[in-house]
Structure 1
Amino acid sequence: MTIEGVSSYTSTDSTNVTTTTSSSSSLDQVDFLTLLTTQLEYQDPTNPVDNTEMINQMTNYSMLEQDVAQNENLETIINQLSALSALSTSSYIGRDVMADGGILTVEDGEADGITIDLQEDAATLGLNIYDSDGNLVKTLYYSDQEAGEIEFTGEQIMNAAGISDDGTYTVLSFAYDENEDSVAVYTKSAGTITAVEQDSSGNTTLTLDDGREVSITDVTFI
């Protein structure tokens, strides 16, 4: 006779099921038990299944059952951790952070400041200020700046650049040493988290109120 998923075999060929079982990579607990009971039902009474072989098959079944239980427990733990992670990251919404990108948001005549991260001493530090249409509003120059973080308040930039209108402005920085060689410089500014997204690898991306998308590892909470 033929059993679904198993090659045909005769009543005298008790090892055929065993071979087929061990070669299948997709058997579950029900399939395994069905094959085992079928083998016992149709075995040749004059040539029964060897006791040692029977023990081995039952051992394999027990191991399969344990593997299934462990996989189910692991899946449950992963789901619980994902839920806890989502709950934790949702608490970030509404919090203020300092992130890469010089964004100056002027509202009601006020704005948060920006931070310049100067990698080396610079003879000249420059800030280009652009409006939301990409037009250059003003270039500010500062001389003899030491390496490190330099903070500019929103009021300082607004006064120096003559900004009075509300809106979103972009600040791009550049620097040169005494030999007029470029010096690495980075601009950071404050923002408010409006959305949090976590991918399947556990990486968390924050969306700020000015549209910036930054990794949670690249921000400083303030």
Structure 2
Amino acid sequence: MSSIDTTSYYSSLTGSDTTGSTTTTSDNTSLDQVDFLTLLTTQLEYQDPTNPVDNTEMVSQMTNYSMLDEDVQQNENLETIINQLDSLSALSTSGYIGEEVMADGGIITVEDGSGSDITIDLQEDAATLGLNIYDSEGTLVDTLYYTDVEAGTHEISGEDLLSSANIESDGTYVAMAFASDADDASVEVYVKSAGTITAVDQDDSGNTTLTLDDGREVSITDVTFI
């Protein structure tokens, strides 16, 4: 690049003259198209007439700035799209409220002598399957036993639970399962129950947590919509 009169050039950029007088400068540290044209005009104004700026170099500068401006615009557009997607995601997940799902946790709701169902997911055949039933205070109410249960999913109705277990009052109960095979080795078993979504929360990573009417908080990836 050709040499220029740096004193005059930088005086123009900072808004000062050679006598020391100053003008107010902007706090904006980014360059827009007007800033670029101002710099370019100043560079042309103070270039050495005997050694002017090379046309190819000037075109290169303008091209580089144009590419930078396009990148900035693309980033702004991308940020706008992301914000719109976040808004749409929040809107769509809010539609889950009121939906019924099946989730981990053996919640039994008893009201007016009627109980809700639970589902047992047994990973292997079990010689013995047991259900400990606790009340809302964590007190063991009763233990139910089943024998020779095949692996798979088994639904136990609220009617069967109330007729078998010592549940005498309305309220919320929790069933926890345990199982063993013929050799008395432990068998994996899970208890699930239905619940209604009352709240939806989404973190910055896009993970969605559902709050159910019985107080359970579960990931949306761990539920089955009914």
Residue pairs, 1:100-139, within 5 angstroms: 100-139=104-143
CA contact 2:12–2:42 (8 Å) conserved in 1: no
- Partners of 1:134 and 1:62 in 2: CA distance: 68
CA contact 1:29–1:64 (8 Å) conserved in 2: no
| Pairing 1:44–2:48 present | yes
Aligned to 1:172: 176
1:32 CA displacement: 4.4
Aligned to 1:211: 215
Of 71, 75, 78, the residue aligned with 2:79 is: 75
CA RMSD of aligned residues (A): 2.0
1:110 CA displacement: 2.1
CA contact 2:209–2:219 (8 Å) conserved in 1: yes
Of 88, 96, 102, the residue aligned with 1:98 is: 102
**What is the identity percentage for the equivalent residue pairs of Structure 1 and Structure 2?**
72
- Answer with 1 or 2: which has the greater Rg: 2
Aligned to 1:22: none
Distance 1:44 1:190, change over 3 A: same
- Letter matched to residue 51 of structure 1: N
Of 178, 189, 198, the residue aligned with 2:193 is: 189
Structure 2: any 5+ residue segments left out of the alignment? 1-6, 15-28
Distance 1:168 1:41, change over 3 A: farther
Question: Aligned residue pairs: how many?
Answer: 203
Deviations 1:153-200 (A, max 9, x none): 112112211213111111100000000000001111111100001122
- Partners of 1:163 and 1:5 in 2: CA distance: 84
Distance 1:147 1:60, change over 3 A: same
CA contact 2:115–2:161 (8 Å) conserved in 1: no
- Partners of 1:35 and 1:124 in 2: CA distance: 84
- SS of the residue corresponding to residue 82 of structure 1 reads helix
1:38 CA displacement: 3.1
Distance 1:133 1:74, change over 3 A: same
Structure 1: any 5+ residue segments left out of the alignment? 7-25
- SS of the residue corresponding to residue 59 of structure 2 reads helix
